[in-house]
A and B are shown apart, each in its own frame.
Chain A
């Protein structure tokens, strides 16, 4: 079989079928993403009399405060990315290239932070670094270092997974060959291993940068008044100063940053996907004494950076003004200050909205993945698909705050008046979860050998039966993980929800933020207990998903 003979001809039936399938998620994105975001951005370009004007955007773009915020955003993102990559590469080696007892547990511990609610992580780090906290003596409260540490906490698993899944499949014989040619271990790593990993490292770094640059909840909680990102600034300008043009200008700035990093991420990911076809099954070896350095680094990161803040959070949730006990948890049944509902009620709200959001995200995610996994024969068709691939990633990077606020100003009048409907919240959450769902389902669908479709077709299966008997079983393999991602992300979503949740109907992250931003030991204790509750729920959802899903799926 010649290479050219491997057809890219689609067997997915007539083109209108997948155009129809594509139309639903596209319509969803247009109505619930493009329109609100565009409407908000457009506000930046009209003056008070309603005439088109660049004056307000110009004023924002020339303000020193804007550039200080942009500088802080980039500095945090660059530092967070550099540290996450520096620590993540040894982590990938130890967790994916080496075998040791407890590796599955270690991988699970590493996987959890990524889906923890940002507010919870903010609370955990502030409890750790508070003046009377275990690491209070470091004096890092409301510091740049604290924010970077929290960003690394989130994104360590992104780097470890991206690099690790590729590393596990690198054929070790290339390294063996280099060793027999006289190269030292260090030289083998620098000349053989690192170049092979480069696409995965670049891809992981680009995504980490994206997540760091758009961080919201964690910076809001940890940054205090001295540190912010474009995202927190948009929130500040809209909710505190009611300055929409400023928010619009900042949204445009953020779109530029996000689009650039998405472009890099997508390019490098495509390269990493090609490189993934190196070895059929993972190759690993037992952990050896010679691995002491990466093992030590990884152990310190897992215990010190990942486990310690969460352990501290749990410990502090049992600290009450009168000593140690369950009082903080008992208080959750009562009305939380600043809200009209109890924490338990908020938890119920969260579970209901997250379930609805998960259903929407999974349904749309299946459709999007199905369309994106097609292999059109024409170059223009492939070009369109590649573009669509990036477009469906956009909600990941565009400010959730922008989306939430955009909802408020567009969906509040006919033809679509949903302002008073709780449906807006699951829709916004589904929007945030959709890219993760697609990234989880797509690799398994893309991994299907086109000849499986062809075999099914020659055995008499029409387009519908090929989809049902070949594509669907593969998609189901990734569905467990996708469900977990969607549910955990929706449960912890804070940026958009903070805008959309009505005061009498808040979700758990919103309540946690209200509690932590109010003074008083009782509020602090309740915030701790509520955070533990939220963390346990998301971690449990993720653990079930990991257990259901295939081990080899890497959304990035």
Chain B
């Protein structure tokens, strides 16, 4: 039997616009899948369609082999956590967390709420009004609230995007640990590559409503399916094999392009001397833009301020090969 979520050929349309175009995807029990894409790529629409908040114009959604396409939102057991928390402003922290526990008796509900708050590191916050919470605390409460009904699947729609960077990096760890601890499978929408790589077992890359590639983070990084995926992950420029060889590339031949990763170009006195176009001071190093022999612009880091020329070579470990 198929277990977990299976999305088959999902299509979402807004009038004439096709936001999601025949996307198929699975989430296994306990698995966290990230939907990664630029804004407008259709990832939120796909998430909403899986939840039932958006009608499917085609395709199907099923759970454990049972078609849930026609099941109303509240009966699916897929809980959605939004970007800005969407806490109920008229309820306290405990009221929010316990929202879905109204069928429990008071004592068990209070106990469960306290457990959940403890799980997200907010023990004792129950009586507070949600308006008094910081952004990070609000998202933790939203997480606790989402986990309360023990969802079959947790949908997270850019849950950390409205937070500042430091908080985001910390909370992504909290999110992951909590999902793992409760064994909750998750479908995690984000436009942030680092977030996706940090949390996901597998990453699905979307662009213009189409699914470009689904793979685990290491495979995705090492073997992006095409130049579009590689470009979105941060690779660039893309060099012809002949140009790459001139910079020390020794990989396989064929009808491919060499995608230079963020660390794919390194300073090496024995390498090729190239002109420096621009240099910016960074934290403990310099970010240098150089013009490669083929004419492409590329970036690398150097420990000290560069002169008008630097000598560089390709580090194959930081590069990927994509079909031309």
Contacts and interface: CB of A to CB of B under 8 A. Distances in A.
B55 A461 contact: no
Interface in B15-56: 17, 19, 39-40, 42, 44-45, 48, 51, 53-55
Contacts of B81: 455
B149 interface: yes
Nearest to A457: B73
B88 A1 contact: no
Contacts of A458: 51, 53, 73-74, 76, 78-80, 155
A460 B98 CA distance: 12
A1 B53 CA distance: 14
Contacts of B73: 11, 454, 457-458
B19 A469 contact: no
A1 B80 CA distance: 14
Interface residues of B, number: 39
A3 to B, nearest CB: 9
A449 B88 CA distance: 10
Interface string B92-107: 0000000110100000
Interface residues of A, number: 27
A474 interface: yes
Give the interface SS of chain A, mostly helix, strand, loop or mixed: helix
A7 B54 contact: yes
Given A2-B39, A4-B14, A461 B86 contact: no
A462 interface: yes
A463 B17 CA distance: 29
Contacts of A451: 82, 86
Contact of A1 (B90, B91, B149, B158): B158
Nearest to A458: B80
B53 A459 contact: no
Contacts of A456: 74, 88, 99
Contacts, number: 92
Nearest to A377: B55
Contacts of B90: 473-474, 477
B17 A459 contact: no
Contact of A9 (B55, B146, B155, B157): B55
Contact of B19 (A2, A457, A465): A2
A5 interface: yes
Given A451-B82, A452-B86, A455-B86, A4 B17 contact: yes
A470 interface: yes
A463 B77 CA distance: 15
A13 to B, nearest CB: 9
A524 to B, nearest CB: 51
Interface in B240-272: none
B149 A2 contact: no
B202 interface: no
Contacts of B82: 451, 454-455
Contacts of A2: 19, 39-40, 42, 44-45
A7 B53 CA distance: 7
Contact of B53 (A4, A457, A466): A457
B83 A1 contact: yes
B313 interface: no
Given A460-B74, A460-B100, A5 B80 contact: no
Given A2-B19, A462-B74, 11 more contacts: A1-B44, A4-B19, A5-B54, A7-B53, A454-B51, A454-B80, A455-B80, A455-B82, A455-B86, A458-B155, A474-B90
15 contacts: A1-B39, A1-B44, A2-B19, A2-B45, A9-B55, A452-B88, A457-B74, A458-B73, A458-B79, A459-B79, A459-B149, A460-B77, A460-B149, A461-B99, A469-B88
